[in-house]
Structure 1
Amino acid sequence: MHDIVPIDYEYLRLIWWLLLGVLLIGFAVMDGFDLGVGALLPFVAKTDEERRIVINVVGPVWEGNQVWLILGGGAVFAAFPLLYAVSFSGLYLAMMVILIALILRPVGFKYRSKIGDPGWRSKWDMVLCFAGIVPALILGVAVGNVLLGLPFEFDDTMRVFYRGNFFQLLTPFALLAGLVSLSMLVMHGAALLTWKTSGPIADRARTFGRFAALAAIVLFALAGVWVTYGIGGHVLTSVVDPNGPSNPLGKTASVVTGGWLANYTTYSWMILAPILGFVGTALAWVGFTARKPAITFITSAIGILGIIATAGVSLFPFLLPSSISPNAGLTIWDASSSKLTLWIMLLVTCFFMPIILAYTAWVYRVMRGKVTGDSMAKNPNAY
């Protein structure tokens, strides 16, 4: 029977691995500054007007930015269904904590302005801060646990069994990964505030941004050392057919200390990921110091790209290793949907993604400029 898909299964799997990375990085860059701004709200804004300015920096765009998270979840569900099943089962409680925080954010935006009482508004400001810190931290903890491997296994009928619990996710390395995530998103939020505000808010954001950028560099380096010498990385010990059927039990794998560094020897170009992570974050620190807000924001985004890409390329070809059954770890070669499904999804993505990007660019062009007390007074829809 003639194959109607003109691209090899191997390349389709690689394309969707790259697209998944793009969507995750897009979420971290676009919605990441929303989380960072929320985390900084009580610290960079002291008066009610200042806090309204900070809220209105992200108020018009946060809903659109969350689309990246929805797209990422949809891509995992459709392109790598086994990854979706195992990760959402194992990280169920962690995902619920994130969802609760994300639900509280719009509630905080809407309810804060309903009553003028300072106590009422202060409580909702703390809710918005919570809704910024918790997802940033827990998402990093999740990535840390992916690098460690989750305790799952399959039986002979391909039923998955998860052997862990929520508190087992809070290991020292995973918490370190969470702090890397929190510091880089706080840096990114501060970069946006220095760009979109002025006066005392921008000055305070600049101070916090410098500290967060420095913390991100140090913590990222510490995580790299820990990955090299402190945790085991998974490596394939059998030949896997990139064009073969999706069967996680059709391979063998082992755990080797420093194994996540093997890709940097096999694929030397991957070293660009950690370089971008360090250089982008360092240049963001320079941008804060030199008071160059646009450059700071761009370099902060580059730093986030590099840090997240480092985790992705270090894991390749693994998507989700198993800490108790290395042979059951999911890779891009054995956890994907069918060839035809990946092809149809690719066509749909090629049609809709440019529309989403064009609309997003148009929205940010309309919303350009600094947020001030005067601009809020002229806008009846301001929070």
Structure 2
Amino acid sequence: MILVTSPSVTYRRHSLHNPHTKSLQIRCQLRRSSQIPTVDLCNPRQTMNGFQIRTRDRSILCLARRKPEAATVEVEDDPLQSILRYLLWTAEAVYILWLFLLPYAPGDPVWAISSETVNSLLGLSLNFFFILPLTNSVGIHVLEAPVLHPELSSDSSQHVRSALASVIMGMAPVLGKEATIEHLLPIFLSLLKDEFPDVRLNIISKLDQVNQVIGIDLLSQSLLPAIVELAEDRHWRVRLAIIEYIPLLASQLGVGFFDDKLGALCMQWLQDKVHSIRDAAANNLKRLAEEFGPEWAMQHIVPQVLEMINNPHYLYRMTILRAVSLLAPVMGSEITCSKLLPVVITASKDRQVLTVVENMIRPGLVELSEDPDVDVRFFANQALQSIDNVMMFS
């Protein structure tokens, strides 16, 4: 039997009949109960704090003892895991509220979108922008299997496919090269061929986010054929997006690859039926000349541009003059005077392009007329004189 005793105290028999003494003993024992050791009363030689317990004291010892307090161990969570847990709870709460509130929303035009579409978009945004980056940041790689909802790329709603195209490109840097090639690249190719122009446009506008991940070799093998095909897309905004992407693509492909695959397209855009495409094509030539240098531009751009100045359609001739005015500062004074300026002088006699000459060419010629080089000033003044003569008799 295991019992608890108080410290050894010499008790007297007559104290047992004294209520006051008994009360003091009880209070003393209660105050010191935290230090009460355990003894075996069956052992007559049991000692406590160096004193031997007498047999006559055992009858008045308190046989009760305080129940030991249960020790509590607090386990602290990792701060990153706590943040991730709270964020996921918040996302789940938002999604549930949206799911249940949408069907009962009032007749506001904002709520006119079908609940299925909105739910798909919201779930998509949570998947791509929220859950996956956070789980990857704490070492939980979800993409060990194809779980990126590939069926969304073939969803019946064009708005769902467009939303997918607007966010999926940004996942490439997060997922890395292997996961991008295995899971995202097939979706990229599918969306690039989508019949809805906004879907193709959203993919094209963010292609630069993929280049740094998959590498230029894989890009040229997989995505470049689709890009070349989109260069002749029937929707002009898609063609415009391709043109604006060309300088970045050219800088990554290099001169040789660009000349073989994309050089002809840049000249073809100068004769597009849409003015915005032609204007963007002229700016594109300037940016390419800045990227590859005047010598490259002199071999691959300037000769082809100058051949188009005789196009029977005056709108195309105006575009060529626009391209010449943009190329002149990049090419330098020598090439400008020997190659570009004669074209401007000839075009100054074309009454249909006088507006372009007056607004775009004259300011450049006025600046060249003050050039330190004598020949530059001579040809610039000659061109200005020709323009003035044509304007006088027009």
User: What TM-score, normalized by structure 2, do the two folds share?
Assistant: 0.21
User: What TM-score, normalized by structure 1, do the two folds share?
Assistant: 0.22
